[in-house]
Amino acid sequence: MKSNRCPNSAALFDRAKHVLPGGVSRNTLLHGDHPLYVDHGKGCKVVDVDGVERIDFANNVAAHIHGHAYQPIVEAVTRQLQNGSAFTMATEVEVQFAEHICSRSTNFDKLRFVNSGTEAVMAGMKAARAYTGRPKIAKVEGSYHGAYDYAEVSQAPKPENWGDPDHPNAIALAQGTPPAVLEDMVIIPFNDPEKAIAVLDKHKDQLACIIIDPIPHRIGMVPVDTEFVKAIHKWTRANGSLLMFDEVITFRTEYGGMQDRFDVSPDLTSLGKMIGGGFPVGALAGRSDVMDVFTYGEKGLRLPHSGTFSANPVTMTAGLVSMEHFNEEAVTRLNKLGDYARASLGEAIKAADVPASIAGTGSLLRIHLKASAPRNYREAHMSATEQQALTAMITTLYDEGIMMIHTGAAVLSTPMGNNEIDKLAEAVFKSLLAVRPLVLDS
């Protein structure tokens, strides 16, 4: 944002730069001259320190399902805080919450709680290695699976280094990533079973796991094809590998996660974000025999695993209330609202006469400044002009009272209704008109 529009946020950012590298602790907050600083949020709206109210379609990057300060969560957490926030002891609410999450999917025999989606993916990759005795992990090109050396490989490759589309290169995200990390990651094309399996076949005796995000945000929020999932699942059964779903974002899509839509049972599933009720959380769920790598058995303890704040009672309490209230009826209602949102935005795009498109499913959507929604990471990759246009569009939306994720993605929350969607569509229409010259030049 511009400093003269938000003077209080600008002043806070000036202070922050003296004590925080780059002025923030997560780069996704950086936008324009400075990030916005929040004063408070309630329901689906947030108010910044300059007093500006916006409808929140970012929801802390899909971490909120009931919006902000959801009263049942506030009340339950307040009661728990009076009894303590974390202990070197187990708690009953951890058991209750685990029982609830496992009841939502027949694919979840057991689970372990951690503190973030990144940790859940990390635990899943390590569990797959411990279970199979193999070193390599396969992932889809461009997919995001958290801040872990292995998960970050080929998260953001570029045209100059991504290589052959049939056999993508393994590209480091962070400078200084050890070369050995790249050697143990296998990168496959998205939604192309034949080409993906041709790559997998070259590593079939070394692959511990294949990880798939069923609606990969960074690839464009285009759902994975059923045939792709079935082909990958069949390959893992034939070659002694595990299939892992990353449902950190997508678990909101169905009562038991996006995997409910497929006639496939992943061996492991990473969870996070909205299952914490607004608090830091992650979980790894899966088959009992695979999850048993975390316990002592005939082979000893194959995967030691602890975490000081894992399964702390505050998060467990908030998460249990959040998920109990996000029942089948709530999931269905929010998905229908998502259908209405995508249809409304489609009409806004048509009215603005701009080459743009909508991707997503359930309560997730993403606007692309492309005439057709991308089918893979390479099609989703933006030129410099496209990125400039998207940044300008997001800035205009903020000025119109709408918060979205910087990629052009939006996630819905249960306090929302048709009125909020209508305001979103109107703001998107105005934003598209504002950036139309840039889009047409891209």
Alpha helices in 142-204 (DSSP H): 149-152, 179-183, 193-201
Give dist(CA 268, CA 118) in Å, integer.
Answer: 14
| Whether 390 contacts 369, CB under 8 Å | yes
3-state SS assignment for residue 353: coil
Query: For the chain, how long is the longest CA-to-CA vector?
Result: 66
Given the residues 273, 292, 370, 398, the one annotated as active site: 273
Strand 38-42 and strand 296-297: the pairing is: unpaired
Cβ count within 10 A of residue 191: 18
Alpha helices in 326-383 (DSSP H): 328-352, 377-380
Q: Is 273 a catalytic residue?
A: yes
Which two structure tokens, joined as six digits, stand for 319? 């998460």
Q: What share of the chain is helix, strand, coil (3-state, %, to 5)?
A: 45, 15, 40
CA distances from 70 to 44, 51, 66, 91, 100 (A): 10, 21, 6, 23, 20
Q: Is 340 a catalytic residue?
A: no
Given the residues 45, 56, 139, 144, the one annotated as active site: 144
Given the residues 48, 149, 246, 267, the one annotated as active site: 246
| Whether 325 contacts 105, CB under 8 Å | no
Q: Which helix (H) or strand (E) element contains residue 109?
A: none
CA angle 138, 143, 146 (to 5 degrees): 90
Give dist(CA 229, CA 232) in Å, integer.
Answer: 5
Q: Is 110 a catalytic residue?
A: no
Among 386, 356, 358, which Cα is nearest to 371's? 356
Dihedrals φ, ψ of 271, to 5°?
Answer: -130, 160
Strand 110-114 and strand 53-56: the pairing is: unpaired
Strand 402-403 and strand 53-56: the pairing is: parallel
Q: Which helix (H) or strand (E) element contains residue 155?
A: none
Q: What is the CA radius of gyration of the chain?
A: 22
Catalytic residues: 144, 246, 273
